[in-house]
Every structure is written in C-alpha cells, then in structure tokens.
Amino acid sequence: MKQHEDRGALDRRRFLKTTAAAGLAALPGAGVAAGPRRQPESPGAGLNPADPLGIRASFPVTEELAYLNNAAVGPLPAPVRDALHAYADNKMLRRDGAAGGKAVASARSRFANLFGADEDEIAFLYATSGAENIVVNAMDWRPGDNVVVDELHFVTTFVLYRELERRAGVELRIVPSRDGVVTADDFAARTDDRTRLLSVAWVSNRNGFRYDLPGLADLAHAHGAYLFADAIQAWGNIPTDLHDEKVDFACGNGYKWLHADFGCAPFYVRREHLDWMTADRHGHRQVAESLPGHRYRLKTSAEKLEYGSPAYGPVAAMDAALGFVGQVGFDRIAAHTHALAGELREGAAALGMRMFTPPKNPSAIVSFYHGLDHERLSRELADEGVAITFQEEGALLRAGVGMFNSRDDVDRLLGVIRRLV
C-alpha cells in the first residue's frame, strides 16, 4: 500500500533542512558537544495518527511493506542512506581525508550523550559478540567458577560459554523462563560466591522480554560478579541511562533499532573496569604515544579495545542515525512503539494465539505461537506485504514494531491471521 506524502509527515527535504546545521545532510563529522542528557523535541509532533512521529516519509520501506521486522534488521532512513552516499563520494573523490576520524569522534560523542555514558567508556567494535568475547578473555577464570545466563538469551552466548566450560572448567548455569519471564529472583537461585558473571539479552530477541538490569546488577555485585548485557535489541528501543542501569558491560550493533548499518557496535565499559580490562588483540589504533625503541604507551580509555581501523562507512551511518533518532527522541519512540506493540499483543491474544511475550512488557517486540499452517501463513503475509520473522521452525511468529509503524501496519498483520483462524 502506497503511503501518501501529503499526510503531514516530515518529508525528507524538510528533515534534511532541519538537520543540516547538525551535519546530518552531509557526511557526518562535525563534533557534537556533549550536553544535558535529555531528549530533544522532535519535528513532526502532533501529526496525523497514521504517522504519529512524523517520520514515515523518511522510511521509504513504508511505501511497500507493513514492515514489522525491526527485531531482525531495521531499514535505513533516508538521512542515513544519504550519509552513506556522502561517505562513498568523499572516499571516491578524496575531498576530506580526515572525514572518517571526524565521524568516529562525532558518533562517540552522540552515543555517550544519548545513552548516559562518558565518551571514554565507549568503544566501537564490529559486532556485538566481540564485546562478550573481550570480557570473557579479560577475566581470570578458575575451575569451579560459574556463569549464569537464561534460556531467552541469543545463541552466541551459549556457544561462547560452552566453549569456556570445555576450555577452563567453568560451569554454565542456565535459568529457565516461566511464561516468557525471567526475574532477578530466578537468577539469584543459581548465583553464588563462585559466580563470576551474569549475562542477559537486555531485551530478548526471542520474545522481547525486558530485564531489570539494576536488580541483576545488584545481585551480581553482591557476589563479586559482573553483569553483561547484550543490548542489540535495546539500543534505540528504550530510553537508557547506562550509569543508572548499573550494568558493567553492554554492547549492541547499530543495524536494528538504531537504523544504522552492520559493522559498528557501540561497547560500553563502566569506568571502574577500564584499569583491568584488556584487549583480546592488539594493533596500531591502541597507540596513545610512540616511544623510542619501537615501544608504545597505549590508550587507557575504552578506545584501547579498538585495535584496527574502524569501518568508517558504518560509523558514518551510525553518526547520522544517532542524530536522526536523537532528534525524534527516545521517549517518544518508546511511548509509540511500546503502546503499538501492546495493541498487537492484545489483538493476537484475542484471536487465540498462544503468547510468548508477557503482558505489559515495556519493549517493542511481540512473539506468539500461531498454531497455523506455517507455509500458508507465510504466503498470506507476503501477499499482504507484511514483514515479520518466524522462529522455532516456523512455529513462533515475532514482530518488531518500529518508530515508523502505524496502527494500519498492525491491523494488516492481525487481518491475515484473522482470515486463517
């Protein structure tokens, strides 16, 4: 279904004009001064209910699809696509050899300001899994130590800790979920003084369940352990102040809810851990000062974990994306997407779906067991132009409600199911 550009939405030209002063219309690079950690007013406030945040025109995917698959890959908004074009043009023509470094500095500043961290606590990695590997490899493990995770985690974590279990004699303890929920008390039942690390997917990729990080952090710290959060389904999905969350480490890539690209994963390391945190590999990017005799003084901030040249294209996309979502405002994004996800959950439950996402869950992901013929449901959804993800061999349907989605998108998904039940 084509979306009309005259619905009062903030069109691409108007957005670029509005944000040009912040450097979003060109290759990102201009430094962004750190300011108070508050959500700026977004253009497009109070617009048509079919486009509540006034940004659908910046997402051309909405012209073709009811795209409810942000938990898999978030589509690029036009300003981020333009930033990637500008990056490529600059590299092709070599107009500004310093543009990549400027984009790194700008993106780091934007991220720290938006997510309640300090710039020296942020490293840019290539993938979310890189961060948890760095943490594990920096720790001094002893046989008999244990790690506590839960069954709603992403598969990478199980691969990592099964290998650690095999290699170092560390026990992996897996907390079961109950009705799609895992509480701090559930973790406490499996945490003891030999626990070294708790690891959670801050917002579960399986059902969108959102964890109580401060509660888990208090539990971990009471036993002398650390808390790691896989934040790939949280960055851009929920308003966040990392210092208030008490988490020790958090990392997530930019290609989902931040609407950036693959290859730039902000990694937060709480300041108190920077002294002992060591890199799992080394290279020229870690050099703070060259000394005589081919010796070097290395960086002491989180940048010491960036061993090689950044992926400057994805960093440019990240910088533009942070500018975009920051202007819309995380509070407004969460209010819209969480409410719409709640409507989707209630609508699916009313149609007899077996819900995997718990009620009143403050995230934008909804999943349920549809109990229908998977092949037919998949065809019907494709014919209707509805994009979602199937998991568990097609039995589990997962939808991720984005900032650009409307009630009509949700109704299209529910309408397909209604025809088949």
Tens digit of each residue's pLDDT (9 = 90 or more) over 210-256: 999 999 999 999 999 999 999 999 999 999 999 999 999 999 999 99
Cβ neighbors of 6 (< 8 A, separation 6 or more) are: none
Mean pLDDT of the chain: 90
Report pLDDT digits (tens) over 31-51: 332 333 333 334 444 558 789
Measured distance CA(90)–CA(29) in Å, rounded? 12
The CATH fold of domain 331-420: Aspartate Aminotransferase, domain 1 (3.90.1150)
| Residues 172-200, mean pLDDT to the nearest whole number | 97
pLDDT at 49: 79
Q: Among 31-35, 102-106, 294-298, 387-391, whose mean pLDDT is lowest?
A: 31-35
| Separation of CA 245 from chain center | 16
Domain(s) of CATH 3.90.1150.10: residues in the chain:
331-420
Report pLDDT digits (tens) over 347-389: 999 999 999 999 999 999 999 999 999 999 999 999 999 999 9
In order of 15, 43, 162, 256, 401, the CA distances from 10 in angstroms are: 6, 7, 49, 22, 20
Give 103-324's CATH code, choosing from 3.40.640.10, 3.90.1300.10, 2.60.120.920, 2.40.50.140: 3.40.640.10
pLDDT at 97: 87
pLDDT at 47: 57
Measured distance CA(58)–CA(39) in Å, rounded? 20
| Residues 200-219, mean pLDDT to the nearest whole number | 97
Four-residue CA torsion sign, 68, 412, 382, 392: positive
Q: What three-state secondary structure class fits 59?
A: coil
Q: Model's pTM, two decimal places?
A: 0.87
Measured distance CA(198)–CA(224) in Å, rounded? 11
Domain(s) of CATH 3.40.640.10: residues in the chain:
103-324
